[in-house]
Structure 1
Amino acid sequence: MNDNDVLNAMRDAMAEVHMHTPVQELVAAGRSRRRRRTAATATGAALVTGLALTLAINSPQVHAPPASAGNQVHVRLAAFSVDTNPDGTVTVKLTKRQTLDPEIMQRTLAQAGIPAQITINQWCQASDASQSLEADLQKVVGTGEQSGEKVMVITPSAMPPATKLIIGMRTEDYQPDSPNSTAISMQLVPDDAPLTCTTDIPPRPTDTPKPGPKS
């Protein structure tokens, strides 16, 4: 069967089919359906866009950038609190160190203008002892009292450029029978200083055995 035979067969088959609806009405109806589909598609896109904007505006900013030094920070959590003082110093109070999340505390200190690296039951120090800035540390970190409890008072402006605090904390249940009484160890080091870390509790100055008499 060639193409002409196919066309003739289709014409013969359709010969008895009669259209009772004018062509103009069929065309108009088709256009109307297309307009409704287009409007529905546009409405759906608008709803999706509106939802995306709502999520973007209302969702919490989990990875907010650290605030610059000098900004007022007042954070009170179960494990610690950080408060910026009117004179620019920052009061840090530890409560339940066993529940402290070091990353959260690091971000909080960063918002207060204090770069820090915090570890729990692990203590780090500069691999090169000459990079431990002990003299500057005495200017940066001090102690105070808040509601009758001892707290750390940190002065961000006293930190030399490109330095950070290295803070190691011991939980109450970590080696409770150890005669070493260190709870917190702090160092001030350059940002790029190589570090050596250990799980051995570093001795406090008062814990260091005094040398015996010379023989």
Structure 2
Amino acid sequence: MSDFETDQLLDTLRDSLDDVHLHTPVEEIVAKGRARRRLRRVTGVAAVALSAGLAVGVSTLANPSTAPPSYATSGEGVHVHTVAYTVDTQRDGTVHATFDKQRYFTDHAGLEAALRRAGFPVLIKTGVFCKGPNDDGKLSPSGGGAGVDRVMEGVREKDGRVTFIFKPENMPANTQLFIGYLNAAQLAAVHMNPGSVERLVPTDAKLICDSVAPPEHVYR
């Protein structure tokens, strides 16, 4: 009921009750009614706002998959943890990177960025293999070039995870580690051996790159 309609009702009640003695004036009764009506309106609006806020909060909390990977940088070093890999600097200056077996060939851009943040210069590609202008192209049976064993050491754990130990202090000046992962077709051709190529390449010279995968390594 609008205030105008209420005023009309008040006049009608006043006329009809002229001969009746009331302890509480009609005006006071109507005023209290209006106050209660305003209170109900405010309470209803607040309830709607609260419900909307709770709905938004539940929606946000129920979708943790959108949370970014954990990145922590402090005086103790760099620690990057994702579903596919972890990268952690150690007190001895080395950088430890651990890969999940099922995600070994995923998120190379993220891995490259994480290793660089940890102080290890690296260039990672898939299906493409690069070398420096003075590199003779020779690789070990496992796909490693000259000098790689001084800056990188790999250990495969029993659970299928691979831990690489990178050694920035052994990296020559103006040099970075190139890692070229074989793509799906290349991996099938070499029966997963090797799975990647690692070379030390210059950072101040143009690299020579192609898509020629290394030959299959057969264990004897």
Q: TM-score, normalised by structure 1?
A: 0.53
Post-superposition offset of 1:144: 3.0
Instruction: Output the CA distance in 2 between the equivalents of 1:124 and 1:163.
Output: 13
Q: Which of the residues 135, 139, 160 maps onto 1:129?
A: 135
Post-superposition offset of 1:112: 0.7
1:155 maps to what in 2?
A: 167
Cα pair distance change 1:105/1:191, threshold 3 Å: same
1:196 maps to what in 2?
A: 208
Instruction: Output the CA distance in 1 between the equivalents of 2:158 and 2:89.
Output: 16
Instruction: Output the CA distance in 1 between the equivalents of 2:157 and 2:76.
Output: 21
Kindly indicate whether residue 110 of structure 2 is the aligned counterpart of residue 99 of structure 1: no
The amino acid that maps onto 1:79 is A
1:186 maps to what in 2?
A: 198
Q: SS at 2:113's partner residue?
A: helix
Instruction: Output the CA distance in 2 between the equivalents of 1:130 and 1:176.
Output: 23
What is the correspondence of 1:27-176 to structure 2 with a 5 Å cutoff? 72-95=77-100, 96-100=103-107, 102-129=108-135, 136-144=147-155, 148=159, 149-171=161-183, 173-176=184-187
Q: TM-score, normalised by structure 2?
A: 0.52
* 8 Å CA contact retained: 1:71, 1:111: no
Aligned residues: 137
The amino acid that maps onto 1:143 is G
* 8 Å CA contact retained: 1:97, 1:170: no
Instruction: Output the CA distance in 2 between the equivalents of 1:124 and 1:150.
Output: 23
2:188 maps to what in 1?
A: 177
Cα pair distance change 1:71/1:169, threshold 3 Å: farther
Identity of aligned residues (%): 28
* 8 Å CA contact retained: 1:119, 1:167: yes
Q: Which runs of 5+ in 1 are unaligned?
A: 1-66, 209-215
Cα pair distance change 1:84/1:117, threshold 3 Å: same
Post-superposition offset of 1:178: 0.7
